[in-house]
A and B are shown apart, each in its own frame.
Chain A
């Protein structure tokens, strides 16, 4: 990728990635998104989501470099964006990232009891990752699903009406799953970007699909 768009120098890679880890699909998505803006720089946020997905759930130095190379930005600039926003994971997370909503409604309905139960069950405190690399536990602010408080977000899935009693069921279910649950928000963002701007209704429909808890997810 040419770096002449912004004229930023590329220093020799401090953390040389053997090869870019973006799949062909990811590159196609990225290029499609880039066409939506007058400058490639503007595609930085969705590109970082794609990178987070492609690099197993967090943005390593190599991931930032690959984004910078694709968009013709300087590494520092991409790192600046990635560190500005709190929803990009800059450190490695567990296979499943449990985000317990502790905002008003959930808190009133016992979110902190869920958090304490999870802490005991997993043996980590909030922000920590279990030693087997299975779970990362953190608190989240309002997940906009107060009707099913207490809500736990795992990747792109919402689990509602979690109580200290049924939380171990959730843990077991996740532990037995074979896949990992990265935040695939990039996919949804990409879809939103790709949907025709004139179909504004389509956009909100897509958004609903993201937030609607999938069938069977409710315990």
Chain B
């Protein structure tokens, strides 16, 4: 029923020799993929065609409404006498909808096209207020640029323009200036094609046409910020950035979003040491060119007035700011006193460089293996659910591989909240590649932008019945063999486990409709199937058993490499890779005397056997499942907290070390698929703040061990030498799109 249209990007990327055609653009001969639109084809010849509404990632169905990309086209035609002539089409054509064909000749700079562009722009500017001097977009506005290059000098329109209220609050993040809108339909197509909430649409018609939401309700997408960047005029604007800066005053630095583990490539725009806004940066392998709202607007903490600027020592229950020298003196004394009995918790928000020095300091200087970056419920060996069985740790697939799946099984995840970019890929697989999506969770969120909106099967099961559901599915797959799977000898043991879960029993226990379970089993016939596992499962007490059952299904359907248990925080993956674990050194090298995990550390801290804890940016008090244990542990032990601002956890600290944010330091992050990507220092460090790797290096030197690091770059280079999985990863080789670690 749904319309799986191929995007233009895909037509452009799927270039194969057999499908090339010869065209000429302004007399320049060039080979382009057959069917590629003329705008993209002309780019190959180095010719730019101006446009507003065309966007390669949006479906082309509603485009061609700005008329800016008009070109003159001539095609070869056979005369009745057999001779061939190049016949010019009588009217100009829109480049965005015209597919390239053999022998096509395109002219983009003729007097007629110049006149047409003037005419188009004169119409587009009829209602546009031309308030560029007070418009945020002024200076980086496609309408402004195209008008300057191609537009008429004056307008003949002397009548009254349309007037609407300025800065209409469309959503919590986006304000809307209807007067400036040129009705390109990019934002409406975005909500329909990409984010899938379809909340923006065209209302009324003709001269009254306007973009709006249903009954003037709030625009509540989790990806609403993208329409600001998509808008080719200043109609959709960010509420936080509005009137903050002019584009020409901003400096831009490449970075990676620090809000979740997806590792979106972003541009940090800053001015006078203060972060002004975040825009998306293109990376086809990760975020394409999208961001989620959490990433785009959740960066206030960088410039927050609550940022810590000096080390703080707790004296008589009050935090007193001190110099670093005093902080180090106290820290060194306490570390010596503890004599290696020190636990390190956290690090999931730090760069790989910070983490490498963190564990090096603990293992080499303090001789302690009490390290753990995980503050979730599961604290056992990281190898257990997946590695021992399938040979990989968290995500079997790369993010971009999800597109190639025929079926995607989302288990126990509010995907748009937990993994926004994975959500967009899953939706892309469904909308543009024809994949079927199965959504199984104990609940369905009520808000917009969710997997269940487009899922072919929705399984809302009773809490705690995941194992029953999965073995029920396995029973259908193997014992009933709904999909006629070829039964191999090693499947017989799986059949034995599944045999105890007939459909009726499963339906009763899980509270699901048997038809829906049957439908799901049928859908799983079309391989490849990817499994994405979320918080409901990873925070479940039955985590290992559920993963065992899921692994059985993966084996039965031949998808052993397609299980994905993505981590949650920006560098959780990097912390695993770099051995912020009690039992592994960097590169998953087993250590001979494993230390304590988070739970054990907190327990021994609470009963006094672990006298000192170093909390590296972990929100223990806020997030750890056992709140009372955390409070007991943090109040008993001597606690060092490295943090950006005063958090609830930091309140318990005896010594707080102010740390640098992602915008103030160089380094690399590893995202949930294991892709190492660079971040660059955007602006100067605030006050007396230091990057964490420097803090560890300096305290190590106070304690008599000198680490040979003078910059984050030194550490990256050391990483590539000393950690096997990081071989070949240097600042230079990472480039702009990063490198995925071999699992």
Contact = CB atoms under 8 A, between A and B. Distances in A.
B217 A14 contact: yes
Contact of B215 (A7, A10, A15): A15
B186 interface: no
Contacts of B212: 76, 79
Contact of B449 (A9, A61, A75): A9
Contacts of B456: 4
B197 A11 contact: yes
B204 A7 contact: no
A9 to B, nearest CB: 4
Interface string A15-57: 1000000000000000000000001100000000000000000
A118 B571 CA distance: 75
Nearest to A4: B454
Contact of A9 (B1, B201, B213, B448): B448
Given A75-B215, A76-B200, A77-B198, A11 B205 contact: no
B149 to A, nearest CB: 33
B201 A74 contact: yes
Contacts of A15: 215
A201 interface: no
A9 B215 contact: no
Interface in B193-209: 196-205
Given A4-B455, A4-B456, A11 B199 contact: yes
Contact of B197 (A8, A39, A84): A8
Contact of A7 (B196, B213, B214, B448): B196
B2 A9 contact: no
Given A14-B217, A76-B213, A9 B446 contact: no
Interface string B705-734: 000000000000000000000000000000
B215 A80 contact: no
Contacts of A80: 201-203
Given A79-B203, A79-B214, A5 B1 contact: yes
Interface in B402-454: 427, 430-431, 446-450, 453-454
A47 B370 CA distance: 66
B220 interface: yes
Given A6-B2, A11-B220, A14-B214, A79 B201 contact: yes
Nearest to A2: B458
Main secondary structure, interface of A, reads: loop
B666 interface: no
A166 interface: no
B293 interface: no
A9 B454 CA distance: 8
B192 interface: yes
Contacts of A195: none
B204 A84 contact: yes
A1 to B, nearest CB: 13
Given A7-B453, A11-B197, A79 B446 contact: no
Nearest to A76: B201
Contacts of A5: 1-2
B431 A75 contact: no
Nearest to B416: A9
A59 B100 CA distance: 45
> Number of contact residues on B: which range applies?
20 to 34
A3 interface: yes
Contacts of A8: 192, 196-198, 453
Most buried by B among A40, A61, A74: A74
Most buried by B among A6, A7, A40, A64: A7
A87 B360 CA distance: 75
B197 A79 contact: no
Interface string B174-204: 0000000000000000001000111111111
A79 B215 contact: yes
A14 B192 contact: no
A80 to B, nearest CB: 4
Nearest to A39: B1
Nearest to A79: B214
A147 interface: no
A11 B215 contact: no
Interface string B293-326: 0000000000000000000000000000000000
Contacts of B204: 83-84
A78 B201 CA distance: 9
A6 B204 CA distance: 22
B202 A9 contact: no
A75 B213 CA distance: 9
Contacts of A216: none
Contact of A11 (B192, B200, B201, B217): B217
Contacts of B2: 5-7
Contacts of B217: 11, 14
Given A75-B214, A75-B215, A10 B453 contact: yes
Interface string B637-662: 00000000000000000000000000
A44 to B, nearest CB: 13
A4 to B, nearest CB: 6
Nearest to A40: B1
Contacts of B450: 9
A58 B455 CA distance: 34
Nearest to B455: A4
Contacts of B427: 7
Nearest to B209: A84
Contacts of A77: 198, 201
A32 B582 CA distance: 65
A3 to B, nearest CB: 6
A7 B447 CA distance: 15
Nearest to B212: A76
B185 to A, nearest CB: 11
Given A74-B214, A76-B214, A84-B204, A7 B454 contact: yes
Contacts of A11: 197, 199, 214, 217, 220, 447-448
Contacts of A83: 203-205
A12 B217 CA distance: 10
Nearest to B217: A14
B198 to A, nearest CB: 4
Contacts of A6: 1-2, 198
A9 B197 contact: yes
A60 to B, nearest CB: 10
Contacts of A75: 214-215
A80 B449 CA distance: 21
A133 B80 CA distance: 71
A75 to B, nearest CB: 4
Contacts of A4: 453-456
Contacts of B198: 6, 8-9, 74, 76-77
A86 to B, nearest CB: 9
Contacts of B214: 11, 14, 64, 74-76, 78-79
Most buried by B among A11, A15, A75: A11
Nearest to A38: B1
What 7 A-B pairs have minimum CB-CB distances, sorted nearest first? Answer: A76-B201, A7-B454, A74-B198, A75-B214, A8-B198, A9-B197, A76-B214
29 contacts: A4-B456, A7-B2, A7-B454, A8-B192, A8-B196, A8-B198, A8-B453, A9-B199, A9-B448, A9-B449, A11-B214, A11-B217, A12-B447, A14-B215, A14-B217, A15-B215, A74-B192, A74-B214, A76-B198, A76-B200, A76-B201, A76-B213, A76-B214, A77-B198, A77-B201, A78-B214, A79-B201, A79-B214, A80-B202
Given A74-B198, A83-B203, A83-B205, 10 more contacts: A6-B1, A6-B2, A7-B431, A12-B446, A74-B201, A76-B214, A77-B201, A79-B201, A79-B214, A80-B201
